[in-house]
Structure 1
Amino acid sequence: MNWGKGLILVFIAFGAMMATMVTICVKQDDIHLVTQQYYEEEIKYQEHIQKVANAAELGQEVIWFDANTKKLGLELENGAEGTLWLFRPSDARMDHKIPVKFSEKSPLELDLKDLKSGYWRVKLTWKNDGKEYFQEKKINL
């Protein structure tokens, strides 16, 4: 066999490989880059942006964390109620959702000593006087 035949065989093999790859890519239909409910998702995201803006207008952090005592505190107005989400990015099985309701102005303190040490995100969504808010804090235990 001379180098001419070898070169032709390499081109044929390359063409067959490319045709196979294109065929496989064209037949895939389980890849969806855009959701079917794009408009509804956009409205939800806009609502989330509004909640973050509402919390920023308060001018104060409502979530605080003391690393020495491993206590998490929430300070909201009387009548506020919402959900506290302790989110562990590395393991979803450790996530906790806690409903919160404030009947007086005193801060609510949670002891986090029982949680596994590492990186956590604390997300708080609450509603007060018909207005919704969202605030997030990143902590290390």
Structure 2
Amino acid sequence: MTTQSKSFTLWPYAIIAAIVLFMGYIIFFVVQAMNQDVDLVSKDYYEQEIAFQDHIDMVGRTKAVGDVAINYKPENHAILLQLPESFAGQHISGRVNLFRPSDDRLDQEVPLQLGRDLSQLVETEKLEKGLWKVRVNFSAGEETYYTEETIQLK
């Protein structure tokens, strides 16, 4: 009578464990991807796209009368808006939109309140550091105007 000795091997268990660990790894990343917050640039993106030609006309009108200067003053923690002298003596109304591309919850809007020299300071002390877009929409008489500048708050 011959007896064969059966040897115990771990290879099948190691292969099964490797497959289970790999599947767990993939499931972890799928769950992470599903929980990632993905926002459009703005909530009403599609409505804004339809009105894009009006926007192009407003930008063209603004460039025709002279550029609106938007300068960030880090030492004063303020943004200086300066309208061209061609708007002197006109009733101007509008708004300044501070747009944060990375987080729409940080967006702010302030009314356009120009001084006699057609300028306005917008405080930035309470704004988070980083990239911001300053959008100025205003009207003078019957015409509407728009300008935008990207700034880096420090």
What runs of 5+ residues in structure 1 fail to find an aligned partner?
1-36
The letter of the residue matching 1:57 is A
Task: Give the number of aligned pairs.
Answer: 103
2:62 aligned with 1:59: no
Q: Which amino acid aligns with 1:71?
A: A
Q: State the alpha-carbon separation in 2 of the partners of residues 46 and 62 from structure 1.
A: 23
- CA-atom RMSD, angstroms? 2.3
Corresponding residue SS for 1:50: helix
Aligned positions of 1:116-135 closer than 5 A: 116-135=128-147
Runs of 4+ in 1 over 6 A off after TM superposition: none
Contact residue 69 and residue 81 of structure 2 kept, 8 A: yes
Unaligned runs of 5+ in 2: 1-45
**Is 1:93 the equivalent of 2:105?**
yes
Q: Do 1:79 and 1:104's aligned partners in 2 also have CA atoms closer than 8 Å? A: no
2:150 and 2:82 map into 1 onto residues whose CA distance is 17
User: Structure 1 stretch 70-79 or stretch 93-102: which is displaced more?
Assistant: 70-79
Identity %: 26
Q: Which moved more, 1:76-85 or 1:102-111?
A: 102-111
Using the TM superposition, give the Cα deviation of residue 107 of structure 1 relative to its aligned residue in structure 2, in angstroms. Answer: 1.5
**1:63-110 deviation digits (Å, cap 9, x = unpaired):** 222233331112233421111100001111100011224363341112
Q: Does 1:75 align with 2:82?
A: yes
CA contact (8 A) 1:73 1:107 kept: yes
**Helix, strand or coil: the match of 1:126?**
strand
